[in-house]
Amino acid sequence: MADAADDEILCERRGAAGLVTLNRPQALNALTLGMVARMRQALDAWAQEPGIACIVLRAAGRAFCAGGDIRRLHDDARGGRGEAVDAFWRAEYALNALIHRYHKPIVSLIDGIVMGGGVGLSLHGSHRVAGERYAFAMPEVAIGFFPDVGATYALPRLPDAVGVYLALTGERIGRGDALAVGLATHAAPAASFEAIAEALAAGGAVEEVLARHAPADAPAPGPVAAARALIAACFGEGDVAEVLARLDAAAAQGSDFAAAAAATIRTRSPTSLGVACEQMRRGGALSFPEAMRTEYRIVTRILQGHDFFEGVRAVIIDKDGAPRWNPARLDAVTPEVVAAYFAALPDEPRFS
């Protein structure tokens, strides 16, 4: 595993920068336990090196990171290798927590898709630089999972309930919208990413380097920015049924955005929707370690259930796009069912 990880994630010191390159492009840089462990080792070491002023995180290929290696996790869980699955979640969530509290700037250079585990690596650092093809999503409810890797903390803190919208729909948003709501902090042409890394390695101040490489024209906000008032009105409070009722009412008044959002939500796992909505309602009051501990509780229960395995089958294995959720109806996911996902576990990690 160590040898594979050395190839799949490259960690090197370059001048004043610790440079991390996700290097599994054929798998859209999906994360493995070895990759997570290697990055943690590098960050721990660089935290103690006074000559390293910042961390630069980038990726090879056309994607930044599509998330964790869900197929591998599915197969391990199905194959009775539960300890390996648990080790991955513990290590990944601990890395997310380290990134959140890291005392040096972490500059993520993001072009292409950034989802799931890739969000966990980048969103909690200090600087998120979006290239032209930036596409953010937390699409976990589409596979019977839930928005994790710190989404419990980060998404409820986005303005106008945009984080709740992203959690319940799993829709992608581009860099204009990401900049408008704070998911991205800066923009730069992807062709400038290497120059940014080199300037930071040469000791340049992060804000000055990023300002020099900013595009001449600010990226225009997209459809989410245009619909922020509607999103706030529909997603700002209540359970999933209430969100859907407000979306349906807005759709009846002619909102294509509301109609599309409602239609998308109705294809998602009812259990995942109930859990994700409760995450968003609780998460704004949680510290980051508390949020990660909450996610560990949820993921443990998710892997004891049905919908994750069915979602992976439908989307990744058979690719028929026709998951058979159980329960299939949202009204069968009672508050008591949802609350059970958040109950404390024995021997749970603290992530602090």
| Domain count within the chain | 1
Q: What is the pTM of this model?
A: 0.96
| 352 occurs within a structural domain | no
Q: Read off the CATH number of the domain in which 55 is found.
A: 3.90.226.10
pLDDT at 279: 98
Active site residue 148: yes
Can 140 be counted among the known catalytic residues?
A: yes
pLDDT digit string, tens, across residues 69-124:
889 999 999 999 989 999 999 999 999 999 999 999 999 999 999 999 999 999 99
**Please, are residues 143 and 274 in contact by the beta-carbon 8 Å criterion?**
no
- For the cut 80, the answer to whether the pLDDT of residue 2 exceeds it is no
pLDDT bin (cut points 50, 70, 90) of residue 295 is very high
Which position among 8, 76, 111, 148 bears the catalytic label? 148
- In the predicted model, what is the mean pLDDT of the chain? 96
Is residue 346 a part of any domain in this protein?
A: no
Mean pLDDT of all residues in 256-275? 98
In a domain, 197, yes or no: yes
Residue of 34, 112, 116, 117 marked active site: 117
Residue 98 pLDDT: 98
pLDDT at residue 128, rounded to an integer:
98
Is residue 348 a part of any domain in this protein? no
Residues 49-76 have a mean pLDDT of 95
Q: Is residue 349 part of a domain?
A: no
Residue 275 pLDDT > 90, yes or no?
yes
pLDDT band per the 50, 70, 90 thresholds, residue 6: confident
Range from 3-7, 123-127, 130-134, 253-257 carrying the lowest mean pLDDT: 3-7
pLDDT tens for 137-181 read 999 999 999 999 999 999 999 999 999 999 999 999 999 999 999
| Given the residues 34, 68, 144, 311, the one annotated as active site | 68
Q: Which domain holds residue 299?
A: 2-340
**pLDDT tens for each residue of 230-263:** 999 999 999 999 999 999 999 999 999 999 999 9
Residue 218, pLDDT score: 87
Task: Using a pLDDT cut of 90, give the percent of the chain over it.
Answer: 95
Residue 350 lies in a domain: no
318 inside domain: yes
1 pLDDT higher than 80: no
Is residue 88 in some structural domain? yes
Given 111, 140, 171, 307, the catalytic residue: 140
HEC string for the chain: CHHHHHHHEEEEEECCEEEEEECCHHHCCCECHHHHHHHHHHHHHHHCCCCCCEEEEEECCCCCECCECHHHHHHHHHCCCHHHHHHHHHHHHHHHHHHHHCCCCEEEEECCEEECHHHHHHCCCCEEEECCCCEEECCHHHHCCCCCCCHHHHHHHCHHHHHHHHHHHCCCEEHHHHHHHCCCCEECCHHHHHHHHHHHHCCCCHHHHHHHCCCCCCCCCCHHHHCHHHHHHHHCCCCHHHHHHHHHHHHHCCCHHHHHHHHHHCCCCHHHHHHHHHHHHHHCCCCHHHHHHHHHHHHHHHCCCCHHHHHHHHHHHCCCCCCCCCCCCHHHCCHHHHHHCCCCCCCCCCCC
Specify the pLDDT at position 352.
84
pLDDT band at 3 (very low <50, low <70, confident <90, very high): low
